Structure 1
Amino acid sequence: MGNSTFQGVGLLQKRYTSILAVVAICLVVAVVGYGASSDEKPVPARFVLDNTGGRVISSHVEHADDYGYSCDDCHHGGSENENVSPVPCGSCHPKEFDNDFKIKHQTAFPDKEYCLRCHDDAPKAGTQLAEDDRPDPEMIPTRGDAFHDQCMGCHQSEEAGPYGEQSCYECHARK
């Protein structure tokens, strides 16, 4: 009986040693993986521009990597803080300046510093800005106008991509 008890204890120790080794390896891999992780956000594979002219789907990677555009080339202040994603275009450039936009865009920004890009003062919680502190909507392009201004600046020649009055559906999805 004494010999079999020692064999059982030996098997139990081997089992726990194996489990402990696996746990230690997992812990080392987790620590190394966490330490080696990058704070840099990956470039999205594509971007979608929803607008009244039909959805535009384009390659973000192609514009960033192949053509060498930086965030600031397309996004307002896109690389001021590389750890913050750019604010969606529709936060400032709506389809139209209706009441729905006025309500929703107030919650679209990470901090009140963004308010000062268009407004003379940041609104206080639960209040609206005085008429004098609001920008003139006529001076802010709608989403479609902003996209055209931004995209067509590069796509205005035959070498740079779809060009000309008859080429709308080379970018825009038909409705």
Structure 2
Amino acid sequence: MQKRYFPIALLTVVLAVVAVAGYLLPQPREDVPRRVLLDNAGGPVVFQHAEHAFRQKIPCEKCHHESPVRRENVQRCAACHGATFDAAFRKNHVAAFNDNAACATCHHYELAARKWGHKRHQEELGIDCRECHHKNVEIEPEPQNCADCHDSGAPTGKKAEEGTPPNLADAAHARCVTCHEDLFAARARGCASCHSQTAVRDILPGEGLVRLNPMFVNCAVCHGLPAEKLVPGRMDAYHKLCMGCHEKLKKGPYAKDQCAQCHTSK
């Protein structure tokens, strides 16, 4: 080969290698965004979505907590993490979902009563009926079914008001906690000791309207904390996820003085 053709041949080989590598590397799907613009008071952020998902091979569920097999059903972060967790977000967030199964991201389980051991408490443990039923015979002359006086309802954790019977859940919990403080202190982890649990994902319909038991849509029923304390706002969620991953890998911006590496000036 003449020397004058060597640069051309070398360039051809390099271009061929680049072309093959580009073909073999995973390519972004057309229905998956390449970049996502995240508006923010501190300056908008252009998130390189394809770079993370395809080049870095980060699985969807790493960021999208309940990522189903079908990528078209992956939820937008804003569906769960509102700018402000206020009444408007509570009212409208359901419309943001395109798949009922996503409800199970936050609404994990529904609880049902199970045989908690009435006979065992009475006969084996020797607990007198009045320890659980009213000791004041003017209220309850003879121990009877609690549901005869107490209406069903979700636990509120509020103290009973004089002259108004608490709902059944509050009444039962008030009695049980006197002996089982450890179970109540465990919050959600302690519920399974007395209640059977059904995963919401297994009972939600695949199509149509979402049907969640209103008794368990309130996070505080099991967790003891309201939703705004459990579900971080959009900014906090992004910061915790993005900065936490970068800090773990010791790559990219994650320090508090490196804001300008993600946030662009307006």
Q: 1:134 to 1:167 in 2, by over 3 A?
A: same
| 1:23 alignment counterpart | none
- Residues 17-36 of structure 1: pairs in structure 2 closer than 5 A: none
Identical columns (%)? 36
Aligned partners of 1:128, 1:62: CA distance in 2, in Å? Answer: 37
Task: Confirm whether residue 70 of structure 1 aligns to residue 161 of structure 2.
Answer: no
Q: What letter is aligned with 1:148?
A: H
Give the letter aligned to residue 68 of structure 1.
K
Partners of 1:144 and 1:131 in 2: how far apart?
A: 30
Quote the residue 1:133 is aligned against.
Answer: 217
Q: Give 1:96 shift.
A: 0.9
What do the CA deviations read for 1:56-107 (whole angstroms, capped 9, x no partner)?
A: 11212221232221212222233x2224242111110111111221122011
Quickly say closer, same or farther: Cα 1:65–1:41, change in 2 above 3 A. closer
Q: Distance in 2 between matches of 1:75 and 1:167?
A: 25
CA RMSD of aligned residues (A): 3.1
Corresponding position of 1:61: 50
Q: Aligned partners of 1:65, 1:53: CA distance in 2, in Å?
A: 28
Query: Aligned with 2:247: secondary structure?
Result: coil
CA contact (8 A) 2:253 2:261 kept: yes
Structure 1: stretches of 5+ with no match in the other structure: 1-39
- Structure 1: distance between partners of 2:71 and 2:48: 21
Task: Give the equivalent residue in structure 2 for 1:154.
Answer: 245
Partner of 2:99: 111
Q: Which TM-score applies when normalising by structure 1?
A: 0.62
Q: Report the CA distance between 1:139 and its aligned residue.
A: 0.7
Amino acid at match of 1:56: V
In structure 2, stretches of 5+ residues that fail to align are 1-27, 111-203, 220-225
Q: Deviations over 1:120-165 (max 9, x none)?
A: 567xx7x997475222220111111110111012222695112322
List aligned pairs for 1:39-58, cutoff 5 A: 41-42=29-30, 43-58=32-47
Determine the C-alpha separation between the residues in 2 that align with 1:61 and 1:140. Answer: 26
Residue 20 of structure 1: aligned partner: none
The amino acid of 2:35's aligned partner reads R
Residue 160 of structure 1 aligns to a residue whose secondary structure is coil
Give matches, 1:85-96, under 5 Å.
Answer: 85-96=73-84
1:44, 1:60 within 8 Å by CA — same for their partners in 2?
yes
Label 1:64 to 1:116 Cα distance change in 2 as closer, same or farther (>3 A). Answer: closer
Aligned amino acid, residue 63 of structure 1: H
